[in-house]
């Protein structure tokens, strides 16, 4: 995460954040295939060119401008393929197609545009400015992945929505309001929030299981972080005593045991 002025452009910041994210990866992971996903704010030529220059692949949301809308409306009725979710199960009311006739000559060679058509759920608000006569909503993304299975590519792209979970978690960890008037002080606050969220994520991955491994920071704060305890000394040892009747006392003890069992380099 980086803090930037509200009037700053997105391309340079996307390039900077990508470089930071790649440096944060463990060295063995840097040689593996890496997919960069982003919403439509990342669909800039400078950002995509930087991804390609790094020999990475991308999957980025694309605005439905007039050219894209015309390409979508030109899809024949039998040109849509039923969509699937991230688990490979059919997703009723959703279809996918590739807009192979859309002009993408200004983008890197091999760039493809894939569209998702979805029937709105009953009572859902229409947030999209563009719908067809049947009321379908459309979402388009561009990618340079060569996989011919567009259904798989579309499901893979939609998984980037997990970023919203991290944003919500960051807000619950102190990022909902920046506390200072000074930009540098707020930048330091952002760094502290990122460190705290990183510790929470690794704790959930290494020490917790079940619902606690995926729950929100607010839930963790109530069930674990704020658990009452008492430090006692016995036999030259410091012992932490927890209330036996606390519903999640066993989970906290198990988390401490898993933490102590981790290798020194973990």
For residue 5, what pLDDT is reported?
81
Local confidence band at 122 (pLDDT 50, 70, 90 cut-offs): low
pLDDT above 70: residue 126: no
Local confidence band at 24 (pLDDT 50, 70, 90 cut-offs): confident
For residue 195, what pLDDT is reported?
93
pLDDT above 90: residue 136: no
Mean pLDDT of the chain: 89
Buried residues in 137-165 as b, exposed as e (16+ CB within 10 A): bbbbbbbbbeeeebbebbbbbbebeeeee
Instruction: Please provide residue 20's backbone torsions phi and psi, each rounded to the nearest 5 degrees.
Output: -65, -40
Please give the average per-residue pLDDT across 77-86, as a whole number. Answer: 88
For residue 4, what pLDDT is reported?
85
C-beta of residue 38 within 8 angstroms of C-beta of residue 13: no
Local confidence band at 123 (pLDDT 50, 70, 90 cut-offs): low
Please give the average per-residue pLDDT across 98-107, as a whole number. Answer: 92
Q: What are the angstrom distances between the C-alpha of 101 and each of 19, 67, 82, 114, 239?
A: 33, 11, 20, 11, 69
Please give the average per-residue pLDDT across 101-109, as a whole number. Answer: 93
Who has greater pLDDT, 168 or 123?
168
DSSP class per residue in 168-216: HHHIIIIISS---SSHHHHHHHHHHHHHHHHHHHHHHHHH--GGGGTS-
- The structure tokens listed for 262 are 């981790």
pLDDT above 80: residue 133: no
Closest CA to 38 of 123, 119, 141: 141
Who has greater pLDDT, 128 or 196?
196
pLDDT above 80: residue 201: yes
pLDDT above 70: residue 125: no
**For 26-74, what is each residue's pLDDT tens digit?**
888 888 889 999 998 899 999 999 999 999 999 999 998 999 999 999 9
Question: Within the chain, where are the H helices?
Answer: 11-24, 27-30, 45-53, 66-73, 150-158, 162-170, 183-207, 217-220, 249-261
**For 5-16, what is each residue's pLDDT tens digit?**
877 777 889 999
For residue 14, what pLDDT is reported?
92
pLDDT above 80: residue 124: no
All structural domains of the chain with their residue ranges: 11-163, 177-261
Instruction: Please provide residue 193's backbone torsions phi and psi, each rounded to the nearest 5 degrees.
Output: -65, -40
């Amino acid at each position: 995460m980086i803090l930037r002025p509200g009037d700053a452009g997105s391309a340079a910041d996307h390039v900077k954040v990508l470089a930071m994210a790649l440096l944060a990866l463990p060295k063995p992971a840097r040689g593996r295939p890496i997919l960069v996903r982003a919403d439509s704010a990342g669909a800039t030529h400078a950002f995509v060119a930087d991804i390609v220059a790094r020999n990475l692949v991308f999957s980025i949301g694309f605005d439905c401008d007039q050219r894209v809308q015309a390409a979508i409306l030109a899809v024949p009725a039998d040109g849509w393929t039923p969509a699937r979710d991230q688990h490979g199960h059919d997703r009723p009311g959703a279809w996918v197609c590739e807009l192979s006739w859309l002009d993408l000559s200004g983008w890197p060679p091999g760039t493809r545009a894939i569209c998702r058509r979805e029937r709105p759920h009953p009572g859902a608000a229409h947030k999209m400015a563009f719908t067809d006569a049947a009321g379908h909503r459309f979402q388009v993304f561009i990618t340079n992945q060569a996989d011919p299975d567009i259904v798989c590519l579309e499901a893979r792209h939609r998984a980037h929505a997990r970023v919203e979970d991290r944003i919500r978690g960051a807000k619950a960890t102190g990022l909902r309001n920046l506390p200072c008037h000074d930009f540098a002080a707020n930048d330091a606050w952002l760094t502290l929030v990122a460190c705290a969220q990183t510790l929470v994520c690794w704790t959930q991955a290494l020490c917790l299981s079940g619902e606690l491994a995926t729950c929100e920071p607010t839930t963790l704060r109530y069930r674990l972080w704020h658990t009452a305890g008492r430090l006692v000394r016995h036999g030259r040892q410091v012992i932490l005593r927890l209330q036996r009747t606390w519903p999640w006392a066993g989970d906290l003890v198990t988390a401490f045991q898993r933490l102590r069992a981790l290798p020194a380099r973990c």
